[in-house]
Amino acid sequence: MTDAQPLVGVVMGSSSDWDTLSGAAEVLRDFEVPHEARVVSAHRTPQLMADYAAEAEQRGLRAIIAGAGGAAHLPGMLAAQTIVPVLGVPVQSKALNGLDSLLSIVQMPAGVPTATFAIGTAGARNAALFAVAMLAREEPRYAEALRAFRAQQAERVYGEELS
């Protein structure tokens, strides 16, 4: 979290999702992207969700990363109420390992899109990297940081030695 006006919102259906969504917040912090993290439940706090979506554009959010598990309606219901791009992260549920979350998020009817990422932490981190890529179209410093990140990642692979 930062004091600056947030550019990316990280929201989740329950505080139990934070183990997963903290991966997104960590990436945003590393890239120095002003962001916020909040619990906004589609089922338990539907009015809060509606208010968050209604205010997102005017508050200057460029993307909303929304994670939820099980009957994961949060990304779709946010997307239904804002034109700010919603990046959905399926949280790995206990009962069905996140397949339920994935299908709940990915199968949006035509007309109201949500991007959908991998189940779990990989998805959370990639959603944040995707948000940085979106911001990189507006601000060159994010493009530079993203190129440096990719180069470092490649460097690690080149440097790997298997014994």
What residues line the site for ligand RP5 (CB under 6 A)?
A: 12-14, 16-17, 41, 43, 68-70, 91
The least CB distance from residue 105 to ligand RP5, in Å, is 11
Q: How far apart are CA 23 and CA 128, in angstroms?
A: 8
CA 89 to chain centre: 6
41 marked among binding-site residues = no
Residues near 42 by beta carbon (within 8 Å), at least 6 away in sequence? 13, 49, 68, 73, 74, 77
The least CB distance from residue 71 to ligand RP5, in Å, is 7
Token pair recorded at residue 22 = 């903290």
The least CB distance from residue 65 to ligand RP5, in Å, is 13
15 marked among binding-site residues = no
14 marked among binding-site residues = yes
Closest CA to 142 of 12, 60, 31: 31
Per the annotation, where are the binding residues for substrate? 14, 17, 44
